[in-house]
Structure 1
């Protein structure tokens, strides 16, 4: 049974905290006590969620959590039962950090034809909206696959 899900992107201020928030909401509706975390491959530790990501979540009636960017560590990969990344190159980086993460690491967009969710950082709000829609769809698909 899955207890810990880790969601990974680059900076841990746009995509992965958005996915973490949506996954937490989806799983809490089913009263599941899973731990959802997120981290970045090149995080500036301590930065808050990117303001446009936060605004998009609020606009879609989600409650963005308090968030501080966190650097991905090998121990996080060991503890996770499932690791979800935004891009194939993130998976490659994860395997370099922890080769044993093979078999439990997938794209968040796996069920959308191996969709890579592009980084909206430093782009217009439309890029954040697109990332949000892709993340929401991917989280919904994973929630179904996880039996929720």
Structure 2
């Protein structure tokens, strides 16, 4: 049973906090803890403004997110680690080889689909990333809620 899920992207201001918020909401009736971090986090920065707007447009009230850097301790303390791109898996395994077997793409159930970083792109890129994240989160939630 998964009790702690960690979601990873690069800066921890766009994709991973969006996925964290969606997965936490989807799993609200469970006791699963969901958090996020970045491989090269913009530490202490809030969620990117366009990502926040897209979340708000989908009915999510912005929480006080502050970007945090991925640590070996966070990797070891997590039961499941979800990432946006294949390269993120390799980066995590370089940091903590013992994580092998618990690191997967968020888009695993969509044929291992990667979710591109919308950072510094226009709002359409954020809307697209949100749609992919939402679909992937629901696929994971169906499997985690069993």
**Is the shorter-chain TM-score for this pair beyond 0.5, marking a shared fold?**
yes
Of 44, 47, 50, the match for 1:49 = 47
1:81 aligns with 2:79: yes
* Deviation readout 1:98-120 (Å, 9 max, x if unpaired): 00111000000000010000000
Written as runs of structure 1 = structure 2, the 5 A alignment for 1:88-103 is 88-103=86-101
Written as runs of structure 1 = structure 2, the 5 A alignment for 1:1-148 is 1-28=1-28, 31-147=29-145
Structure 2 length as normaliser, TM-score?
Answer: 0.98
* Deviation readout 1:70-123 (Å, 9 max, x if unpaired): 000000000000000000000000000000111000000000010000000000
Equivalent residue pairs, number: 146
- What RMSD over aligned residues (CA atoms) do the two structures have, in Å? 0.7
CA distance in 2: counterparts of 1:69 and 1:12, whole angstroms: 5
Any idea what SS the aligned residue of 2:63 has?
coil
| Runs of 4+ displaced beyond 6 Å | none
Gaps of 5+ in 2: none
CA distance in 2: counterparts of 1:135 and 1:123, whole angstroms: 17
CA distance in 2: counterparts of 1:14 and 1:147, whole angstroms: 25
